[in-house]
Structure 1
């Protein structure tokens, strides 16, 4: 009996250690309205949300009085935290993936975290008509590369239309004996990009059939040699079978329609059209295809393809029935990622969206586009406790992130960051001085002539 009692007390103590209550905050649930109340977190998950909650004994209390609590921000298109983005030497690079080059020491992870971003869809670049595999990360600063990966997220693949993949077809060398010569690589036109995609999926269908025929013979007990593995086509077969999501870089309306037709012809699903700056022109067609759009708030005219972009794009797409998110497309530095909250605020100005609709574009909508909305994206019981506490309204340019929780664990604290800066600066200065002293001692000595 004594052993059972001790066991129960130990369990209670452990539960208390893993319990956090964020009290008296303005809770933006996104999906169930805004309340003034509290959030209970046990073992990394939200167990209760309400105006009045039961506070477990021994729980850590976080006072959020007068502050705003939102779900962790989800960026559906980034290039942070990886040491390579493009494998631009071929037109189809589905055999490679940024999942292999995650660098957990990149400071852009911490900077994104400090801006309230808890999850990011890290994509291959847009140099290829069909690019490489993506990886979805949580900003668990301090974890190793594998510890950053959002393992429940569905795998994806990058595709690209327009200027980027076609301009790779005409490259001019700038050094050596070949300087100034042009190196041709197919495709070099927009219609060539479409052909590359069609040919790749035609080959993938044939490859898929070869393996199905082999498996059928094996099931019957017949002797058969397995087809030769093709890592490039294996990834595309996963797309055809709905096991891998497609995230397609695009700008122009004509090319958007082209890709929708190609996907319907080959029977694969496009999860998101990325950038999709002329999406407002073909919003009905995108909605009818059941395809999501991940766009910018108000970027335009930064290249020829973007000249017809308008800041009302996100609102028009949403009003036509398209699931819309806002993304940063950030690489090193996480510059725009750190203010995706105010990017969402712009949507209230450009298009008259409500506060919940604007917040949804950086929380629950990208969660749906990545297939993780049952886990994150809103403040609801049963979901992973990815939460951000702001000192003011999160859609205000004057607001600051105070604390960030991922899986119920605090990964960022503004006060702690500020107070630690003098110590870290002193440590950095000491290390630099030590390095200089080491270099001085190891420098070759010049002998004076005798």
Structure 2
């Protein structure tokens, strides 16, 4: 027993030490066209990074002794891209055994060996929101990640001190799961009932604990501790940000009404294909939206949408982002943002905000990332060509000032080297696109049904 405790202590200690030693870089990027997002475009400008932070922005800056200098003449420097809806770097997505699984955490299944991390870096992405899937009404807590590829410690990928988030789901995904298992919800009205019942139970749970804490009797027995209820109470009290899978306008409106009844205000809709129909209501509530640029009609409930969705939401004052929900599309998010200028009249800064500052706001990390400002983390992407051009090419990507992608100098196969003689077998590296999306893997796709009936 003592030996086991000793081993566990060593494991915990080494884990904490490894997490505390996340690399922070020093670099001077010279003569770039700097797309700050918040303070306009700065031509022929230098950005000095010290200890992983942006320390100076200006012209004619000199690199301190020993600091690498990168000539970015003719290139564009933008904030690192943030994907507000991703499932890469995870060894599991859905805990589908119950329609409420708020006790599980995606931070427990981070896979630092996933080669999709490197591929995302190759598209200028520096942070992702590793979401639970949409198999159930109230899923697990999600995890905001920094793409520090090359570390074998899952803890190193966690975005330090990022707010807690959780995944909810409306519509066909949870109802199909319910019907296939013969449990609630099997209908859209069942989804609302489950939400209301869950938060009512959480209120009762909180009341029991409040009464126990207020009682001066030292012999009073404490209520049973329930991690599922604890998380729901934290949502009620604003300590967890809700991100909800949604498509239809009626369901989007329904959730705002439920949240208003329970005093919940921190809400971002994911996908939100019909959000344009209720854009003023979203703005009034203070809800945000993370949408696709022009991807819809892949199932019946997503039939009505528009490529103008992001523009309409933005013009109505809704903080909007463009997401991927894909291990492939994630490296093309700058192209996805550019589509909003074809389908709408967004300015360069507004379009870039869709993949930088706005997702940062939705994740509660805008004080750290999302724009190029002194004091912020040096999560940066360097491009040949303007990022909103179809000809744009990401050439370097930095996280905390450390270069994790270099198009000119990286070896062709950038997967993490696996030692065949090491004691513990690493996770096998595959890029399985179906595991990088929030669709319930237990639900048979329409494509499979049609292909089987030929």
Shorter chain as normaliser: what TM range? 0.7 to 0.9
Residue 90 of structure 1 is matched in structure 2 by: 98
Question: Displacement, 1:56?
Answer: 2.9
Query: Which deviates more from structure 2 when the two are superposed, residues 69-78 or residues 49-58?
Result: 49-58
**Over aligned residue pairs, what C-alpha RMSD do you find?**
2.0
Distance 1:423 1:128 in 2: 36
Residue 352 of structure 2 is matched in structure 1 by: 359
Query: Structure 1 residue 224 and structure 2 residue 232: aligned?
Result: no
Question: Displacement, 1:397?
Answer: 2.1
Residue 148 of structure 1 is matched in structure 2 by: 157
TM-score (norm 1): 0.85
Residue 26 of structure 1 is matched in structure 2 by: 33
Distance 1:227 1:51 in 2: 62
Distance 2:413 2:62 in 1: 40
Residue 183 of structure 2 is matched in structure 1 by: 185
Q: 1:51 aligns with which of 50, 59, 65?
A: 59
Q: 2:236 aligns with which of 230, 236, 240?
A: 240
SS at match of 1:302: coil
User: Do the aligned residues in 2 keep the contact of 1:263 with 1:270 (CA within 8 Å)?
Assistant: no
Distance 2:255 2:414 in 1: 53
User: Do the aligned residues in 1 keep the contact of 2:29 with 2:46 (CA within 8 Å)?
Assistant: yes
Residue 276 of structure 1 is matched in structure 2 by: 272
Distance 2:83 2:276 in 1: 21
Query: Structure 1 residue 389 and structure 2 residue 393: aligned?
Result: no
Residues 411-447 of structure 1: CA distance to partner in whole angstroms, max 9, x if unpaired? Answer: 1111122xx22899xx99x99xxxxxxxxxxxxxxxx
- Which blocks of at least 5 consecutive residues in structure 1 are unaligned? 1-16, 172-182, 432-450
Residue 447 of structure 1 is matched in structure 2 by: none
TM-score (norm 2): 0.84
Query: Structure 1 residue 328 and structure 2 residue 337: aligned?
Result: no
Question: What is the 5 A alignment of 1:305-384?
Answer: 305-330=301-326, 334-384=327-377
SS at match of 2:304: coil
Question: Displacement, 1:368?
Answer: 0.8
Query: Do the aligned partners of residues 383 and 236 (structure 1) sit closer, same or farther apart at CA in structure 2, a change above 3 Å counting?
Result: same
Q: Which is bigger in relative contact order (C-alpha 8 A, separation at least 6)?
A: 2
Residue 248 of structure 2 is matched in structure 1 by: 252
Distance 1:116 1:249 in 2: 25
Question: Displacement, 1:58?
Answer: 3.7
Distance 2:386 2:62 in 1: 26
Distance 2:265 2:105 in 1: 20
Query: Do the aligned partners of residues 18 and 421 (structure 1) sit closer, same or farther apart at CA in structure 2, a change above 3 Å counting?
Result: closer
- Which blocks of at least 5 consecutive residues in structure 2 are unaligned? 1-23, 422-454
SS at match of 2:132: coil
Question: Displacement, 1:186?
Answer: 1.0
Residue 435 of structure 2 is matched in structure 1 by: none
Residues 353-412 of structure 1: CA distance to partner in whole angstroms, max 9, x if unpaired? Answer: 001100000000110111100100000000000001111111122221111111011111
Distance 2:226 2:217 in 1: 25
Residue 296 of structure 2 is matched in structure 1 by: 300
Distance 1:43 1:186 in 2: 51
Aligned residues: 395
Larger radius of gyration: 1
Query: Structure 1 residue 133 and structure 2 residue 141: aligned?
Result: yes
Question: Displacement, 1:97?
Answer: 1.8
Residue 80 of structure 1 is matched in structure 2 by: 88
Query: Do the aligned partners of residues 18 and 357 (structure 1) sit closer, same or farther apart at CA in structure 2, a change above 3 Å counting?
Result: closer
